[in-house]
Every structure is written in structure tokens, then in C-alpha cells.
């Protein structure tokens, strides 16, 4: 089925002009928000009415409300299928803080804990039940669901059903049985990223041909996209953190486990609170590091792609990539973990020649047939095009997902536009060098040796192979070494040069002859001398004030954050489970003096107002609501001290130290090492 064959409802604002619907009442009473955003209300009303829906909405766009509110309105239990086993505890904690009766069933629980949750489900004492997809392969779970009243099925992270996607989960393929076994129960599939092809695959594999499709804008205007030429990536990262993100929480992605460990240690050695996360760590360590990231301020997680899906931490101020992502979809999803609270955030990528070489070699050595390798190559080509573009990064990124956008004026190419130059002659020189080595000497070499030949460098290796006797020796001394690396990188990106074998040797492609024969021009991108920076640079060690917070409200905001940190630590939950920063900013700005006034603030629902209202007013009055009480003395200040685990309950048992299925990541031994003549 093509995407054109399904009804698509694009983002729109919906107002209930007549009377307040039950959905809006729940939004205000339970969640504490006055109105829906974008197409939320239309999605919710459609599902409440019993319709199926496929929802594509960016991270931070409010997808969860699209199934949580219908579950509360329809009656019965909303069953949420999610691969995020390690995060179910926090998801349930957040709902219970709102007064929503939520529970979960997954492999982290013992028999007694599962029986307690099952009993609550059968007794109608749950509003939402979270299940790992593998639970639906167990007949006992299916029989349990048969005996209860199900209001809807929500399939979260629905892109996991895409068989050739970056987050494929085999258990998702079995979810088509939901419609077969419970044909009258509405289904809603949700994802934060999907191309037309992935969107179509979700629809087909989940058998949702009759579903309405809601596609929100994929634009994240608060994220600044920047791609820097890679030189010394760890030092470049450190400069970014010190100059722009001191004291901020962030995620750093690396391709290999070894790189994760080295980068995390490098940051720690330089005074940055950082922890590693990858599938090679034991489950207890992974769970502890994830818990610290969710509960502490200013912690940096250095991770493989095994980390991040479903992370609901709102104040992640930056996502950095030290290695090239394999696809634009993966890049978008990973960078989307920054700035969920709408505050200015940075997506920074260090990209160089070695990334292209390594990724090409990984594709050549990948499992699967030739069609699979072509798909991987197409994904990489799109990512390379994003890196090498001279137009607005945001325009190029959204175009990949089939959406139009005006230039943002905030990404690196908008702030410091790169120049283009005619690289045809330089390309001919480099390709000729590859040809002469092959024809005259029967040799193949990597980029480093070829660049040395072009520059006329008499290195030991050049002398050893008599390459100083080649007619092309020294013909490229009009460019610097870094510029030649850019030429190689862009020729690889344009498919005019290829990487071959374990040593990363350069070879011609079918289209190289067009350049050598003068039949094709080769425009190239020249890196700007001055790299773009975020507008909100800050002094070393100082946390930047939120962009929308008046200066006079800053003291109250910090006092509220201190109270929230103490409260969260006592309850053993992430701080955002108490209140999001956006809610605290509004409270600090409005300074309500009564609980009635406080109840009008977005994010303060009835349950939280009753639970925390008096304490908040005490904080605003300059008093300590914890005075005389034992407990923590404010927000977590020591990044090396992990907070205690959440308290156990029958409905929301503490997750055992098993983060569940990990996102696929390459084993270190499966990663081809860059050739000696390519700098890392």
C-alpha cells in the first residue's frame, strides 16, 4: 500500500466551539493543561470513537496523551505495547503521580509481582497496562487479556515493526494478531520518525489499512543542527561542552563500545560528569547509569545506539555524535532526544573522511543479500547528503521526510553559509592518481597515501614504493591536506569514488570515468573558516537561564527546582515526574498566592495540586516546606552519587536490573578499523 492510498490528516489546531468535550475535561483535570496542541484533539476524539489511527509525531509533540486520554475516557484498560522495558517503571510512576492507575507486566518482575498486577487488571483497577511485545507471544498473557475489558491497544515506537529499519524488533511482527483476536478494540500506532516507506510498512505489517493517518510536522525549531569537520573529536566535544553546555545534561553517541568507554573516561578526566552505556556492560550497570541520567542534573551519557529510545528526560540540552549515524532516520530520532521541553538545544555531529570509509566497509561486510546492502547504501547516501549540503540543514532534514520548510536561520549552514567551488580539476587529479597506481604499479592504497602523493610529500612509505617517481607526484600542492581530505570525502559521498577491502583502499566507480573524461563537473563544499555557535553560550560552570524566563523569576525558579529535586529524591523518581521545568517556569513567573491560582498553571492537575500545592506556595513565600524534616538537602548535587531506587508497589514494582532488549549495536570486533593512513 502506498502512502498516497491512505487518508492523511496533517497537523491542525482543533477547537471545540460548542461545549467542552470529555477529553478536554480529562486533559484539564488529570494532566493540568488548558488545551490540546496541534492535531492531538482530533486524534484523541477519533480513537475515543473507536477508530484506528497511525500517528507520526515528533519527540516532545505529546504522543502519549493520544492514547492515555482515550483510555481514561473509554473505560476499561488501555493496553500499551512498548519495547522500553527499562523505562516502564518511570512511565508508570509518572502516571501514578497524576492519579492514573497504571501498571506493567514484563520480564523484570517475579511471579508474585505479576500476579498482583494481573489481579488488578481483572478487577478493573487499572486504567493503563504496559506490556513488552514479547509478552503477547505468551498464551497466558493472551488469555489474561481475554478476561479483562480492554479500551484500546496502543503500539508505541511503531517503527520497530519496519524490518529493515534501525530499531527493528522481531516481536513487533506478531502484533497484527491484535486485530484478529480483538477486532472491536481500536488500535493506535505511534512513532516519532518514519519516512513514507516506513509509514507504509507500519500500516501493512500491523494490518491497519482502514486507520486514519495523522502526520504532524517533524520540525523541532528549538534544536540547532550543526555538523563540524572532524579533526580531534573528543577535544572538539570537550570545547562544545565547556563553552556552551557546562552543567547541562546530554547524550554523546559513538559507534563502538570501545569508543564509548574511552570518550566517557576522557570527559571524566576533564571534569565532566559522564557515564558509559552500551550492551557490553552488565544489566545492573546499565540500569544504574540510566537511572542516574534520569534522576540527576547535568550528567552526560556516552552511549552506543543501544541507549535513548523512550527516554523522557525533558531537559537534555545537547545530543552529540562523534561518529556518523547510519541513516537520516536514526540521526533524527537520536537528535530528537534533545530539548523535549522546548528550550534551545544543540544537535552536534563531528563528521570526517574516516566515517565514510568505515561505514562503506561495514555495509560491504554486512549480512543479508545485495538488495539489503543497496538499502543500507541508500540510507548512508542520504546521511552524507545531509552532511555535505550547502543549504539549510533543517530544510534538507525535513525534505527527507517529505515535508517542506523555509530556511531556519539557526543551523550552522544558515549562520555561517559554506561556499561552493568547482572541484572538477582536483577530482581529476585524485582519480588519476588512483588510476596510475592501479595501471602502472598494480597497487591500491588508502586516502592518506594518495593525498601524500598529491602533496608531493616524501614520506617513508612514499619512498618505499617509489611513488615520488609517479607523474602525479606533487600535482596537488595547490590544496592543503585538510582540503584534500574534504575532496576524498565528497567524492565518496557523490559516488565518484569507493572504498574497497579491509584496508580501506580507494577504487574508481562506474561514474568516475565521466569526471576523468571531462563529461561531468564536480561542485564541492568548502568548510567555513568560522564555525557556527549557539546564541546562548555561557560562562564556564554556569547553567544558562531558560530562554523564556524573566530575570526576576529566576530566583523563584531555582528555589522550585531545589524543592523538586529534594522531593524527587525522597520519592525515588526522576524530577520531571514531580513537575516539568516548563511548569516550574510558569509558576515562578506568575507567582500564584493561592491553590486556586496555582491550579490554573499548565501541568498542575488536581492530583498534583492536592499533593504539592501547599509546599509550592511555601517555596514561593521564601519558606522551606521541609524545615525540620529529615531528608535530602536539595537537588542532587554530587553527580557521582546515584539516587536510591523507586519504592516498590504492587502496581508499579521496582524494575529488576534488566533493561530488556537492546537496540542493535555493532560488536567492536565487527567494526572495521580505519586504515593506518586515516586519522581517527
**Domain match, 328 and 388 both:** yes
**Domain match, 425 and 405 both:** no
**Domain match, 494 and 595 both:** no
Helix (H) or strand (E) holding 166: none
Average pLDDT of adjacent 10-residue blocks, the chain of 680 residues:
48 50 94 92 96 91 94 95 84 92 90 93 96 91 95 93 74 90 95 84 92 93 95 96 96 95 98 96 92 92 87 92 94 93 95 88 82 87 91 94 91 91 96 95 93 96 95 95 92 88 85 94 81 52 61 94 92 90 94 95 94 95 76 36 33 39 50 37
Q: Is residue 192 part of a domain?
A: yes
**Domain match, 509 and 632 both:** no
Sequential DSSP letters for 263-314 = HHHHHHHTT--EEEE-TTS-HHHHHHHHHHHHHSSS-EEEE-TTS-TT---T
Q: Is residue 678 part of a domain?
A: no
Q: Is residue 258 part of a domain?
A: yes
Q: What is the pLDDT of residue 584?
A: 95
* Dist. CA 151–CA 145, nearest whole Å: 11
Cell of 67: 492514547
Q: What is the pLDDT of residue 241?
A: 97
* Dist. CA 487–CA 187, nearest whole Å: 50
Q: Is residue 664 part of a domain?
A: no
**Domain match, 476 and 571 both:** no
Q: Which of 383, 417, 451 is the last residue of a domain?
A: 417
**Domain match, 256 and 333 both:** yes
Q: What is the pLDDT of residue 674?
A: 38
Q: What is the pLDDT of residue 372?
A: 84
Q: Is residue 106 part of a domain?
A: no
**Model-level pTM?**
0.80
Place of cell 524488533: 169
CATH of the domain at 556: 1.10.150.80
Q: Which of 165, 192, 215 is the last residue of a domain?
A: 215
**Domain match, 549 and 599 both:** yes
Cα within 13 Å of Cα(58), Cβ side: 26
Q: Is residue 539 part of a domain?
A: no
**Domain match, 573 and 517 both:** no
Q: Which of 185, 215, 245 is the last residue of a domain?
A: 215
**Domain match, 363 and 439 both:** no
* Dist. CA 505–CA 229, nearest whole Å: 22
Q: Is residue 91 part of a domain?
A: no
Q: What is the pLDDT of residue 122?
A: 95
For residue 680, which of 179, 96, 232, 90 has the smallest C-alpha distance? 232
Helix (H) or strand (E) holding 143: helix 139-147
CATH of the domain at 63: 3.40.50.300
CATH of the domain at 430: 1.10.10.10
**Domain match, 396 and 277 both:** yes
Q: What is the pLDDT of residue 433?
A: 96
**Domain match, 16 and 29 both:** yes
**Domain match, 380 and 508 both:** no
For residue 411, which of 384, 381, 390 has the smallest C-alpha distance? 390
How many domains is the chain built from? 4
* Dist. CA 462–CA 473, nearest whole Å: 10
Residue 592 domain boundaries? 545-646
Amino acid at each position: 500500500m502506498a502512502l498516497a492510498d491512505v487518508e492523511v490528516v496533517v497537523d491542525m489546531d482543533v477547537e471545540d466551539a460548542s461545549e467542552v468535550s470529555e477529553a478536554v475535561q480529562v486533559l484539564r483535570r488529570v494532566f493540568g493543561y488548558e488545551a490540546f496542541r496541534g492535531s492531538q484533539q482530533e486524534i484523541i476524539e477519533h480513537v475515543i470513537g473507536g477508530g484506528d489511527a497511525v500517528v507520526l509525531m515528533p519527540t516532545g509533540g505529546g504522543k502519549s496523551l493520544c492514547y492515555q486520554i482515550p483510555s481514561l475516557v473509554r473505560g476499561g484498560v488501555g493496553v500499551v505495547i512498548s519495547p522500553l522495558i527499562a523505562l516502564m517503571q518511570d512511565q508508570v510512576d509518572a502516571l501514578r503521580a497524576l492519579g492514573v492507575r497504571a501498571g506493567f507486566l514484563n520480564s523484570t518482575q517475579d511471579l508474585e509481582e505479576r500476579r498482583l498486577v494481573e489481579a488488578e487488571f481483572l478487577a478493573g483497577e487499572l486504567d493503563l497496562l504496559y506490556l513488552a511485545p514479547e509478552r503477547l507471544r505468551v498464551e497466558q498473557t493472551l488469555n489474561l487479556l481475554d478476561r479483562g475489558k480492554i479500551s484500546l491497544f496502543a503500539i508505541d515506537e511503531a517503527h520497530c515493526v519496519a524490518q529493515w529499519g534501525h530499531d527493528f524488533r522481531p516481536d513487533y511482527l506478531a502484533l497484527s494478531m491484535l486485530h484478529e483476536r480483538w477486532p472491536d478494540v481500536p488500535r493506535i500506532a505511534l512513532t516519532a520518525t518514519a519516512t513514507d516507506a516506513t509509514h507504509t510498512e507500519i500500516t501493512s505489517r500491523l494490518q491497519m489499512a482502514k486507520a486514519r493517518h495523522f502526520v504532524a510536522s517533524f520540525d523541532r525549531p528549538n534544536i540547532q543542527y550543526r555538523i563540524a569537520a572532524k579533526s580531534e573529536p573528543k577535544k572538539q566535544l570537550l570545547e562544545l561542552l565547556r563553552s556552551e553546555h557546562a552543567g547541562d545534561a546530554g547524550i554523546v553517541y559513538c559507534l563502538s563500545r570501545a569508543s564509548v568507554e574511552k570518550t566517557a573516561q576522557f570527559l571524566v578526566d576533564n571534569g565532566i560528569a559522564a557515564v558509559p552505556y552500551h550492551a557490553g556492560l552488565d544489566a545492573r550497570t546499565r540500569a544504574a547509569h540510566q537511572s542516574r541520567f534520569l534522576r540527576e542534573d547535568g550528567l552526560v551519557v556516552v552511549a552506543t545506539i543501544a541507549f535513548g529510545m523512550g527516554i523522557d528526560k525533558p531537559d537534555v540540552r545537547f545530543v552529540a555524535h562523534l561518529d556518523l549515524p547510519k541513516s537520516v532516520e536514526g540521526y533524527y530520532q537520536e537528535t530528537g532526544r534533545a530539548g523535549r521541553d522546548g528550550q534551545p538545544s544543540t544537535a552536534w555531529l563531528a563528521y570526517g573522511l574516516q566515517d565514510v570509509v568505515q561505514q562503506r566497509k561495514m555495509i560491504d561486510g554486512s549480512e543479508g543479500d545485495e538488495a539489503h546492502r543497496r538499502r543500507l547504501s541508500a540510507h548512508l547516501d542520504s546521511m552524507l547528503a545531509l552532511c555535505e549540503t550547502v543549504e539549510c540543514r533543517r530544510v534538507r532534514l525535513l525534505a527527507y521526510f517529505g515535508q517542506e520548510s523555509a530556511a531556519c536561520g539557526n543551523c550552522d549552514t544558515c549562520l555561517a553559509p559554506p561556499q561552493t567551488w568547482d572541484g572538477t580539476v582536483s577530482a581529476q587529479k585524485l582519480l588519476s592518481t588512483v588510476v596510475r597506481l592501479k595501471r602502472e604499479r598494480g597497487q591500491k592504497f588508502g586516502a592518506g597515501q594518495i593525498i601524500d602523493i598529491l602533496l608531493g610529500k616524501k614520506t617513508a612509505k612514499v619512498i618505499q614504493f617509489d611513488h615520488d617517481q609517479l607523474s602525479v607526484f606533487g600535482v596537488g600542492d595547490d590544496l592543503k591536506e585538510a582540503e584534500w581530505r574534504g575532496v576524498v570525502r565528497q567524492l565518496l559521498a557523490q559516488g565518484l569514488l569507493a572504498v574497497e577491502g579491509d584496508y580501506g583502499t580507494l577504487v574508481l566507480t562506474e561514474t568516475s570515468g565521466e569526471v576523468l573524461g571531462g563529461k561531468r563537473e564536480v561542485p564541492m563544499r568548502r568548510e567555513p573558516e568560522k564555525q557556527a555557535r549557539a546564541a546562548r553560550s555561557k560562562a564556564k560552570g554556569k547553567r544558562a537561564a531558560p530562554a523564556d524566563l524573566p530575570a526576576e523569576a529566576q530566583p523563584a525558579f531555582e528555589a522550585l527546582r531545589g524543592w523538586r529535586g529534594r522531593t524527587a529524591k525522597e520519592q525515588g523518581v526522576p524530577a520531571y515526574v514531580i513537575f516539568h521545568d516548563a511548569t516550574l517556569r510558569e509558576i515562578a513567573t506568575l507567582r500564584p498566592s493561592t491553590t486556586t491560582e496555582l491550579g490554573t498553571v499548565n501541568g498542575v492537575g488536581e492530583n498534583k495540586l492536592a499533593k504539592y500545592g501547599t509546599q509550592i506556595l511555601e517555596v514561593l513565600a521564601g519558606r522551606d516546606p521541609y524545615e525540620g524534616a529529615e531528608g535530602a538537602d536539595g537537588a542532587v548535587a554530587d553527580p557521582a552519587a546515584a539516587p536510591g531506587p523507586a519504592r516498590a508497589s504492587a502496581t508499579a514494582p521496582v524494575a529488576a536490573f534488566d533493561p530488556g532488549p537492546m537496540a542493535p549495536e555493532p560488536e567492536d570486533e565487527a567494526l572495521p578499523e580505519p586504515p593506518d593512513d586515516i586519522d581517527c
